[in-house]
Amino acid sequence: MGNVAVIGSQWGDEGKGKIVDWLSSRADVVVRFQGGHNAGHTLVIDGVEYKLHLLPSGIVREGKLSIIGNGVVVDPWALFEEIETVSGKGVKVSPQSLKIAENVNLILPVHQKTDQALEAARGKGMIGTTGRGIGPTYEDKVARRGIRLCDLADTELLREKVENLLVHHNALLKGLGAEEMDVDWLYKELLEIAPKILPYAAPVWKVLDEARHQNKKILFEGAQGIMLDVDHGTYPFVTSSNTVAGNAASGSGVGPKAVGYVLGITKAYTTRVGTGPFPTEQLNEDGETLGRRGHEFGTTTGRKRRCGWFDAVMVRQAIKVGGIDGLALTKLDVLDGFDEIKICIGYELDGQKLDYYPASQVAQAKVTPIYETVPGWSESTRGARSWADLPPAAIKYVKRLEELVESTVTLLSTSPERDDTILVHDPFFS
């Protein structure tokens, strides 16, 4: 019996919600280890829909312990809005069911102002951030001027930190022609939110260590995808944290051996939200069909996702740098009805063939995909719960993907319903 880390193997939006829900029903502890409320996924349990952004998926299941790790950045106001929303659907959230790392960095209103002002100043060169202050908060964390959850317990220290923080941000806002932020106002806002959020503060690393010694099953829940990793993704069109499995350890306060099996959520085609390179994007009827059938709109932003064929080169690279042991392949049913399906098996760059995705921003934008075309299928795969329920051509497609990405499919999802899943290997017992 081991623990499981769930990460996205593409640009996020791979359908982690259903898979994480399926796994969280089997886990004792669910941990968010990176990102902020810029990511999100949807769970449907007993017909009730929950849209989660900061809260770990375990929060909707009674008896599970949910943890927000130190690698996450937390907007306390957004968190409590989310708590109120799920509470209105009958979910009980308390310091007993939710614990937040006391050393987590906080997203403040000034971070959102800075984020939006910077994005506006970039003009055509914008990165495509959600404007929620994620990036500036991580910047402050690395620059050692961030405000952490534990800082709210000392009013004198908090005042000093707010003043120090705004020396930087107000100079930046002024230079960008944006309105500066008032020290007294921000300090007052933090004093008001402090008694609401401090009861959730805990030494999360210690809580997780105790859980491990009690042989409890832990699910480490990532946000976004590996190709949005700040080191290994399509930089600078990436998020501000590490989305690879290695961050499950550092982002929650456990050693790397504690992470266990790494499950990579992988869509049967490819999507991306916002700007940045996308070699297999289909700006044609195929792309429109994928988006329409897949209901490709972001959970958090509502933005329409760009759609394209499966990129085996990119997923293979994500598997290797992300430490992925097996895949959960989602949305296979979206491909039903295509006469032919294309798979990217390589790239061409300035007359040379590549079997990997280069790091250079210029090269990433210039590569053209080399496709392999495979037969599609007319039968429906939606709702299939065993290999016998799948058309032979769909099985061949899955097996070909396994060959190309050099990994195996652990779970195969054939609809948003949690029971419409073909289980090949149980990650908790792998």
pLDDT at 299: 58
Residue found under tokens 């719960």: 385
The residue with tokens 């791979």 is 14
Residue pair 401/9 in contact (Cβ under 8 Å)? The answer is: no
Distance CA 73, CA 149 (A): 10
Please check whether residue 219 is in contact with residue 6, taking contact to mean a CB–CB distance below 8 angstroms.
yes
- Annotated catalytic residue within 37, 41, 111, 169: 41
CA atoms in the 13 A half-sphere facing the CB of 428? 15
41 is an active site residue: yes
Instruction: Give phi and psi for 419, each to the nearest 5.
Output: -80, -10
Q: What is the pLDDT of residue 42?
A: 77
**pLDDT value, residue 309:** 98
Helix or strand holding residue 73 (H, E)? strand 73-74
pLDDT in tens, 353-390: 999 999 999 999 999 999 999 999 999 999 999 999 99
pLDDT of residue 302: 67
Number of H helices, E strands in the chain: 12, 20
Judged on CB neighbours under 10 Å (0-12, 13-18, 19+), 242 is buried
CA distance 77 to 83: 10
Of 13, 75, 333, 420, the catalytic one is 13
pLDDT score, position 128? 64
CA distance 13 to 270: 9
Closest CA to 248 of 237, 234, 263, 233: 263
The alpha carbon of residue 255 and the mean position of all alpha carbons in its chain are separated, in whole angstroms, by 21
Question: What residues of the chain score a pLDDT lower than 50?
Answer: none
pLDDT of residue 43: 77
Catalytic annotation present for 325 = no
pLDDT of residue 48: 82
